[in-house]
Structure 1
Amino acid sequence: MSKRTLVVTVVTVWALVLAGAVGIGIVLLRDDDADKPADAGDEPAATAAADGRTLEDFYDQEITWTRCDQAECGTLDVPIDYQQPGDGAIKLAVKRTRATGERIGSLVVNPGGPGAPGTTMVDNVDFYFADELRAAYDIVGFDPRGTGESAPVDCLTDEALDAYVAADPDPDTPEEVATAQENSQQFWTGCAARSGAVGPHVSTVEAARDMDVLRSALGEDQLAYFGFSYGTRLGATYAELFPDQVGRLVLDGAVDPSLAPREGALSQAMGFETALRSYVQNCVDAGGCFLGATVEAGITTIQDLLASIDAKALSTNDPERRQLTIGLAFYGIVLPLYSEDNWPYLDDGLQEALKGDGSTLLQLSDFYGSRENGTYTDNSLEAISVINCLDDPWSITADQVPANIAEFEKASPTFGEVFAWGLTACNGIPFASTDEPDLKIDGSGAAPIVVLGTTRDPATPYAEAVAMAEQLESGVLVSRDGDGHTAYNKGNACVDDAVHAYLLEGTVPQDGLSC
């Protein structure tokens, strides 16, 4: 399996399992040469001393760009705490490619997560964006605070994170429940000890404030922005905080910003079940499906496989002699559902697993967690939990889970219990957001915002895009009928033409456009 041809997600339902909040992913072409994040023994993420700077000082800065590979790299200073801007600063990693044709301005982009380093979009700009956009805009990616190279939060050593990911996401014995609770306590204790001053300050509101400082540093009067998946929540938050600075915003794979964590988890559970059934339907329609002759038979085969792995882990060809546990199998199965292009990999993984070999599903799980050669190349699995739980720390206790299982199983007979257990994951978070934690989003006063939704999107179900477009005062909905996560640059000319007409010419699509 080629790491440079597999289209994978950085972070997916991990947020449900670890953070008890809406977990969003974004299709990404991974780079084998990504840098390894901080680990044990390194300095905490942020230890900057107070320097007395005012907010105006941050807005007045300019970015010094230096050549890096085929792009330009720089850093942006932002306050650790916007309520006390003089109390210290962190540096955000910023990267851009210059417009190849007649330049319109800067287009700030975000791949989702939360937790995904945004500079990766610039590394793979040809994959993400069509020639038309690359010609007209400087494409600017940044690692949001707490992620990538922007004062990354840290919670566990790589060895401890391995155990965390491999654990049963649906504990069904008292011993497994106790282990899950111990793992959660270890995670949050580690976050408090290893993340320094930045730990309480990686909320979406603060990241949105960073984007306005970035807008100013780029010399733009208004922000042009293209956000995917969780990046739609980030963009909508920006519109709420800075409606007068909203330029041309496109939000693809949109989330419903009004959903409470439990309702968000139910929505996503249903989304993944829909995507799994679409995958099995495709197998059945092709004839001779190895999973069964009908969709229900195929789903039963997958459910039985998961139950057997839960009872006994599968052997693999992994050089570290790791086995495919039920936790790793879960992530290995859900990851390919993000893109129809990856269904053949899921075919391979399931066929092997049905014969007792967990090798391909283990590889897929490792892609999910940004794990390569025994280490993690970014901190996305940790950052997503901290960000989501700062945004909404609501959770339930382990003894409250059974009362929720029936409703979650109705939403997703295959994955429902996993999502129900995800509701416990913010228990013990040692941080609390101090910057508008209860922000309500309607973007009142903002210019038109284009919202994209895909009908069988697993991670951000279509109904959430409809909801975001309705809630944003200036929201305009464009729908893609199809499979996989997000809508733009997926071979649908109707979607792409609407996006390009808006970003390049300012032509707002017809609200409700169906593609």
Structure 2
Amino acid sequence: MPTRPTLRRCALVALLALGLAGCVAPKHQASAPTSAAAATSGTSDPALARFYDQVLEWTTCGSEQCADATVPLDWSEPDGETITVALRRVPASSGEPVGSLLVNPGGPGRSAIDTLGFFRQVVSREVLAAYDLVAFDPRGVQHSSPVTCVEPAELDALTSWVPDLSTDEGIAQAVERNGEFGQACLERTGPLLGHVDTISAARDMDVLRAALGDEALTYLGFSYGTELGATYAALFPERVGRMVLDGAMNPTLDSGEVAAGQAAGFEGALRAYVADCQAGAACPLGGDVDAGLAQITRMFDRIAANPLPTGTERELTLALAFSGVAAPLYAQASWPLLTQALTKAMEEGDGSVLLQLADSYYGRAPDGTYSSNQNEAFSAVLCLDDRPSADPDDMRADAAEVAEVAPTVGRFFSYGGVACEAWPVPAVGALESYAADGAAPVLVIGTTNDPATPYAWAEQLAGILSSGVLLTYEGEGHTAYGRSNQCVKGAVDTYLLTGEAPADGTRC
């Protein structure tokens, strides 16, 4: 949403338009936990035994299997209310799995269950033969006990909204409207809204590990999924198995630092796109790279003053225009779509393609419905994990610094404090340390010109983790495994299959 400037969600899956059919009713015999399950529960707390010792009942979902796990609503009150975490599994093709590979696509708010088809394409055949591939939706997300806030029409209004943040009065109005959105979330979601934080979700993952019968957690997380994985490692270092964190986030950064890093990341990605566009044919951006970026800035200014028609009842506002520009920057293969969108907007005054790209980012279908609750869950998790300052002077100072490193897109990553200032449940915050002392080697992957999770964050996370191993992909786009080159693929596959991590600092 325009008042949540940090684009921590991975849009690659949305652009690929991959999805899955819903579950169906027929059941088959649940596979029993391994004989080691009792020894791997990982808890000596009797109040938690009912969660760690539960037996998952798997049902048939097309060619896959579905189950629901039960976890505490509030981990500080395990005897209280419970919620469910949904799982979907692709059994190992060998028929003899060595364990489970849990996967998460990022967000916060992306549904791993709805993107399991994406993981089936990204993960190599050898890994799919060795492991049961298990997607789970974290608490608050889609198929698990979900956050619910507003109807689609109101979500349309929020994603297209351009608040006036140039005055104290405009800032106060933005805080109020976001507070109203949060209140709607609380009314529809109930107490769960205060418990969808990353730490609680990571605790859930340990229950899933035990219920799946695994002594250690094997995990592949992209984007925000790396923060979830790093949090798990910090909480349960002795239960870390083979963990891949691709498109790494640094969980020790506050919201302002995240916004500044992403602003610089998207500026760099946009600069690389402009250079590539100008080197080809039919690019709407003339002159050198700086001139091309200046033309994009002027386009944003014109749209701010006069939103573009789209051939529908909806106009392309400034907020939607930026989302439409940002979405294709997640993957270099999508750059031609951005060229098409900019050509339409700049030469024909037609915002239709930028609107389609923005809708793809937000998961909005042509009929006005949304494919998931990703936008609502995104806000809920973000406002629980960190609560930045909404003081106008603080935000103006931060905005000035962001503008220096990201003159083209910096405005879209500023004033983030208005998003959570009036959120109706208190923040949970982060852990004191993410060192995960005693954990097995954790493979951290960074892409050198990643727009959403800047490469520096991968370097930082690998240094924060006591057993972090850094693997670098020299290229463009968000994340690397499954979309970069054989060097990255081979290193990750070898690690997942044998436990042998590449040498720290390996570059591909």
Structure 1 length normalisation: TM-score?
Answer: 0.89
Give the equivalent residue in structure 1 for 2:304.
Answer: 310
Alpha carbons of structure 1 residues 352 and 256: separation in structure 2 relative to 1, 3 Å:
same
- Which of 322, 336, 341 is residue 344 of structure 1 equivalent to? 336
Aligned partners of 1:26 and 1:485 also within 8 Å: no
2: CA distance between counterparts of 1:272 and 1:22?
A: 10
Q: Does 1:362 align with 2:347?
A: no
Tell me the secondary structure at the aligned position of residue 374 of structure 1: coil
CA spacing shift, 1:439–1:202, aligned 2, 3 Å: farther
The letter of the residue matching 1:460 is T
C-alpha displacement at 1:106, in angstroms?
Answer: 0.6
Give the CA deviation at 1:26: 5.3
Q: Does 1:30 align with 2:22?
A: no
Provide the residue aligned with 1:192 in structure 2: 186
Q: Percent of counterpart pairs with the same letter? A: 45
Q: Secondary structure at the match of 2:66?
A: strand
Question: Retained in 1: the 8 A contact 2:283–2:339?
Answer: no
Tell me, what secondary structure is at the counterpart of 1:476?
strand
Match of 2:52 in 1: 59
Going from structure 1 to structure 2, the CA distance change for 1:340 and 1:170 (only over 3 Å counts) comes to farther
Deviates most, 258-267 or 140-149: 258-267
Counterpart of 1:465 in structure 2 is 458
Q: Does 1:267 align with 2:245?
A: no
Shift in CA distance, 131/510, structure 1 to aligned 2, threshold 3 Å: same
Counterpart residue type for residue 311 of structure 2: N
2:349 match: secondary structure: coil
Aligned to 1:44: none
> May I ask how many residue pairs the two structures share in their alignment?
480
Matches for 1:387-426 after TM superposition, within 5 Å:
387-398=381-392, 400-426=394-420
Report the Cα distance in structure 2 between the residues aligned to 1:32 and 1:511, rounded to whole angstroms.
35
Gaps of 5+ in 2: 23-45
1:100-119 per-residue CA deviation (whole Å, 9 max, x = no partner) reads: 12532110000000111111
Q: Deviations over 1:266-297 (max 9, x none)?
A: 00100000010010011122255321131111
1:327 is aligned to 319
Gaps of 5+ in 1: 1-13, 36-52
Q: Distance in 2 between matches of 1:19 and 1:173?
A: 18
Q: Secondary structure at the match of 1:250?
A: strand
In 2: Cα distance, 1:20 partner to 1:282 partner: 26
SS at match of 2:65: strand
2:420 maps to a residue whose letter is C
Q: What letter is aligned with 1:328?
A: L
Distance 2:172 2:142 in 1: 32
SS of the equivalent of 1:453 reads: strand
Q: SS state of the match for residue 375, structure 1?
A: coil
Q: Which residue of 2 aligns with 1:145?
A: 139
- For the 8 Å contact 1:251–1:451, the answer to whether it is kept is yes
Bigger shift: residues 235-244 or 395-404:
395-404
Following superposition, the deviation at residue 215 of structure 1 comes to: 0.3
Please, what TM-score do these two structures have when normalized by structure 2? 0.90
Within-5 A mapping of 1:273-284 = 273-284=267-278
What is the letter of the counterpart of residue 30 of structure 1?
A
| Residues 65-92 of structure 1 deviation map (CA, whole Å, 9 limit, x = unaligned) | 1111221111010000111111111111
Q: Structure 2 counterpart of 1:96, which letter?
A: R
Q: Deviations over 1:380-430 (max 9, x none)?
A: 111111111111122323454323222111121111122112232111111
Match of 2:35 in 1: none
- Whether contact under 8 Å (1:26, 1:229) holds in the other structure is no
CA contact (8 A) 2:103 2:135 kept: yes
One-letter identity of the residue aligned with 1:402: R
Deviates more, 1:419-428 or 1:223-232: 419-428
